[in-house]
Amino acid sequence: MVTYQKANGKGVTVDHTRICVVMVGLPARGKSLIAQKVVRYLAWLSIPAKAFNVGSYRRNDTPNPTADFFDTGNKEGERLRHAAAEAAVADMMKWFDSGEGVIAVLDATNSTKDRRRWVHQRCEANHIETLYVESKCDNEDIIMSNILEVKTTSPDYKGQDPEIAARDFRNRIRNYEKVYQTIDEDEKDLTYVKLINVGRQVVVNQIRDYLQSRVVYYLMNLHIKPRSIWLSRHGESEFNLLGRIGGDADLSARGDLYARELPAVVDRSVGDDRQLTIWTSTLSRTIQTARFLANSPKGYDKLEWKALDELDSGVCDGLTYAEIEAQYPEDFRARDDDKYNYRYRGGESYRDVVIRLEPIIMELERSENIIIVTHQAVLRCIYAYYMNVPQEKSPWMEVPLHTVIKLTPRAYGTLEERFKANIPAVSTFREKGSVAKHQESKESSL
């Protein structure tokens, strides 16, 4: 957890720090993906953050523009684009002035020195630090991949023929190339990070404080290549059948069936010959679940991470919820009231799990095509990071047994797909405020 001087009541504290992260770069360079990732990461760490996408403001007046709208000779287009930037910055200032904001991300091309100077002056007048993040890329494969994604996911091209959309988007890029100015020596007084060819080279200049360095550290671990992450709980365990939490129990008979079926479920979800790397916790039930996947003809590598172990339930380890309610009634109620922050006696809270998972998230951002076989609380925290789930809701999400969740990060959100094995399992999900009774086994697949 990050600690400063002045509490804001949300789990972190700040010392009047306000930062505007200003995205810079040509279209199809991953700016929106980076912006969304930064906001998700900061929110996951309890640092209030919000993205202000200038394109969203521009779409209020011009929802489906052609490339000509972005031509430097189009004066009306230039007027509307600047009006959109003005509206986004005005809303950003209101957000900061509300007292809620710590880090804003201004998501736009900001492709000229004049535009960057204008943003800097607006922020400086309102005592807001600026951190410029320029994404530069001349790798045609990556650019083409980003164009493919934009033509299929961007609101600008909704309902349009994909090939026509791709051609128009290329023309839009050419219009921006006519005026684009990279951050150079003339702007060496700026605080900036340059990410060159998806992080192959990183240039950092004039980082001034801890929060800025925290953002830079995260950015240095990012890449924007297309990839997916697969998540699965361990197979049903003997403790699951008994309704007991924690422990290091072995798989049940049905859990073992899921372990044997897992390679086929993963193959179905992957859909091609890409190589995955398997990450498990150090506990028996995840290692047992992944053993057939690790020994499949695909030859997947496998790593065990202590950081992926289940939430430590302290003195309640091995108890049922009914036993916890009977033995520790005040604790049971306190956990229901604030499950994210409640820490078991001698154990952990969900907030503690997030802190120890940060290195896992960094490694995930550096890696490609990982399947994680781990535990319910840990998966809730990882899923919340990718899907931007609020902290107060993440501990109450249902993550069913015998299901593979595939997450594919995109510029405008994360695509989620679920693949269920046809193997029944007990449900370990307990709703907030429900009776402390373990749910009975379900005879149908989950």
- Residues belonging to the active site: 107, 234, 310
Distance between CA atoms of residues 374 and 308, nearest Å: 6
Single-letter amino acid code for the residue at 347: G
Is residue 357 a contact partner of residue 351, using CB atoms and an 8 Å limit? Answer: no
Q: Which tokens belong to 258?
A: 């899921």
Query: How many alpha carbons lie under 13 Å from residue 196 in its C-beta half-sphere?
Result: 9
- 266 token code pair: 């993963």
Phi then psi dihedrals of residue 135, to 5 deg: -105, 110
Q: What are the respective helix, strand and coil percentages of the chain, to the nearest 5?
A: 45, 15, 40
Token pair in block for residue 177: 């190339």
C-alpha closest to that of 228 among 407, 17, 378: 407
Cα 28 vs. chain centroid, distance in angstroms?
Answer: 20
Read off φ and ψ for residue 441, nearest 5 degrees: -60, 145
Our measurement of the distance from residue 420's CA atom to the centroid of its chain's CA atoms, rounded to an integer in Å, reads 23
Q: Which residues partner with 13 through β-bridges?
A: 7
